[in-house]
Structure 1
Amino acid sequence: MNWRAISEDGPGPTWAGLFAEYWPDYHRWWAREGPEARPGYLDSRKALRAHMPELVGLYDRLCDLAGGTDHAARFLSFYCPPPYLSSCSQALWPGAEPLLVRNYDYSAKAFDSLVLRSNWQGRAVMGTSDGLWGLVDGINDAGLAVSLTFGGRRVVGDGFGVPLILRYVLQTCDTAEQAGRVLARVPTHMSYNVTVVDARRRFLTALMAPDRPAVITHQAVATNHQDRVEWASHARFTETVERERYLLRRLTLHVEPQEKFIGAFLRPPLYSPRFDEGFGTLYTAVYRPRRRQMELRWPRARWPLDLHDFREDMRVIYTPDGTPAAK
């Protein structure tokens, strides 16, 4: 994986270049069932305006930078995209300092490998990119950090791809309470668990679904199911229950040092070597809201990033034998 850390304050030539680079692959994925399977442009923009109106101007600007084509605009709306699955773990360290740690288990062939730092609409945000303006985890200048896991349900409905919902949270919210209100009202196309923590260590996990109201909980751990397992074969394959129990034991026995807690994500059962099956642990992310910092980790490498002292860079991560190393 050729990881990059890229910064651009406002949407401009850098973002346009990224879109041109990634679009052929994203277009094949988005149109794999035929473009008629996805909502039209007018319906997509109408849904965005209804549920995330603060993003409409930014969306229009990105559509222009993407060339203004119908397919690109519909893709960038994130409205009713094709279904996709991941297998992730996330948890909050129980110590005094707010600390969110997550593993992202997914296919390296369908991943941006990109940390994007932006200052869109006057709000500084950095996080792990998905779809070039969505995020699978991130932090903003208010010290609000957010991360997602797949919720382990097959139901697909009318709603947005959750990476854009995470972007919306970070663009518009300062606190976990504000984020909870957003996550309770914005429709998602699949089931996801979204954990949010702010600089005062207030946190929540939203259990989002397309066919029932979101449930806002005080859970400090999320894997790949919600209140109960509803997709048994997926649960067995991803070991979601086992990973949840493992994390809960670590949280309840005692408050262990930060480094020991983070290190647990770099080893089984949390760390997954299933790269050939599309569910290997591509990275571990550590978010420190008070410091406005994130760090990407692998078993033999780490990459610190600071929202207010962001350094563009590139890292090559090799996973030929399931044991990542960096160059």
Structure 2
Amino acid sequence: MSQQRLGFRALRVGDGTDGRWAAEGEAALRQAESFLADEARTPEGAARARRLFEEHMPELVPVLDRLAAQLPDPALAATALTHVGTRPFYAACTATGVAGVLLRNYDFPPDECDRAIVSSTFLRPVIGMNDSGWGLLDGMNDAGLAACLTFGGRFVHGYGFTILMGLRYVLETCDTVEQAVAVFERLPISLAQNVVLVDREQSVTLYLGPDLDAPIRAGEPTLSCATNHQHLPVPERQERESRTQERLATVRKAAAADDPVATTRAALLRPPLHVDAFDDGYGTLYTAEYHPAVGRVGYHWPDGSSWSQSFAAFAPGEREVTAGRG
């Protein structure tokens, strides 16, 4: 086990036209570009990515163009910011939607995460943990919809969008869980991913993958949980390394308690849900608690620190926290 001091930022970027997003955009582009596969770097690959984006996310095309135009290499930016044609990358994570609240741990190498809480108004007000330009690891919108990702545990790869852009798109264009489900039924996602969606009425877990004809809907109307496996048996070695089934059982038990939000929050801040492996370059970077019906989110760490943000009172700034329990 280990601990690591990590810096987090909260940024307000507006609709992307006034330079605030561009001030962060060059570094964000480098990260987004680092995930591009070789084919996407060719003129043919760039054109193919553009066509897929225009077909499936037409509402965001003007936003893509105005963001890319502000960066030093607009052509490369326009491809990288589609989040199409990327190489595989894998995270872990635990998530649950219960009592109208989305709670999740994000587990990843700290040097490969932006650690930026971003308030934007590209198409509508959205707050979330931004990554790779304008992708989202988790977030909520002003309609009361929240969403997050976890890795699906199956090492399959196809042509499509990263789940980060999938989350951005549904939060920009959807009001409800059912609308978001309908989007994921038509949206090509490049990796096996689990998505937890929460609104005022229900929560849903979706299993997505480039080899699935349609998303698999899991969970109950009032309780959805996801770790890092889907509909297939988990190999013994994978369970030893990821403890995905153990973590799923743990978060389900916490979410079924009399006070599910407080019990789940506490469980996410300790093993086995909280991962402390920073000596190996990997661990739980933050615990998020979204209350989308009231437009509020809190980020929590085992050292007792928390950072709250909301649509009503978003406060830009910086925080340094201790990740890991030591």
Q: Same fold (TM over 0.5)?
A: yes
Map of 2:107 onto structure 1: 105
Distance apart, 1:84 and its partner CA: 0.7
Distance apart, 1:55 and its partner CA: 1.0
- Structure 1 window deviating more from structure 2 (295-304 vs 12-21): it is 12-21
Q: For the Cα contact (< 8 Å) 1:124–1:141, is it kept in 2?
A: yes
Distance apart, 1:184 and its partner CA: 1.3
2:58 aligned with 1:53: yes
Map of 1:221 onto structure 2: 225
Correspondence for 2:277 among 274, 280, 288: 274
- Structure 1 window deviating more from structure 2 (136-145 vs 217-226): it is 217-226
For residues 170-181 of structure 1, the aligned pairs below 5 Å read 170-181=171-182
Distance apart, 1:216 and its partner CA: 2.3
Three-state SS of the structure 1 residue aligned to 2:143 is coil
Compute the TM-score of the two structures, normalised by the length of structure 1: 0.90
Distance 1:76-1:39 versus aligned 2 partners, 3 A rule = farther
Q: Deviations over 1:106-151 (max 9, x none)?
A: 0101000100101112x10000011121101000000100011000
Distance apart, 1:218 and its partner CA: 3.1
Distance 1:184-1:314 versus aligned 2 partners, 3 A rule = same
Map of 2:15 onto structure 1: 10
Question: How far apart, in 2, do the equivalents of 1:42 and 1:104 lie?
Answer: 33
2:319 aligned with 1:309: no
For residues 201-212 of structure 1, the aligned pairs below 5 Å read 201-212=201-212
Distance apart, 1:59 and its partner CA: 0.9
2:91 aligned with 1:90: no
Distance apart, 1:34 and its partner CA: 7.8
- How many correspondences in the alignment? 315
Map of 1:240 onto structure 2: 244
Distance apart, 1:157 and its partner CA: 0.3
Question: How far apart, in 1, do the equivalents of 2:36 and 2:148 lie?
Answer: 27
Q: Deviations over 1:157-199 (max 9, x none)?
A: 011000000000000000111011011110000010101111x
For residues 23-38 of structure 1, the aligned pairs below 5 Å read 23-27=29-33, 29-30=34-35, 36=41
- Structure 1 window deviating more from structure 2 (180-189 vs 272-281): it is 272-281
Q: For the Cα contact (< 8 Å) 1:20–1:66, is it kept in 2?
A: yes
Correspondence for 2:78 among 48, 73, 84: 73
Three-state SS of the structure 2 residue aligned to 1:216 is strand
Q: Deviations over 1:245-266 (max 9, x none)?
A: 11222334x4235323211100
Segments of structure 2 that go 5 or more residues without pairing to the other structure are 1-5
Map of 1:188 onto structure 2: 189
**Identity percentage of aligned residues:** 34
The alignment's C-alpha RMSD in Å is 2.0
Distance apart, 1:35 and its partner CA: 6.0
Q: For the Cα contact (< 8 Å) 1:86–1:279, is it kept in 2?
A: no
Distance apart, 1:26 and its partner CA: 4.4
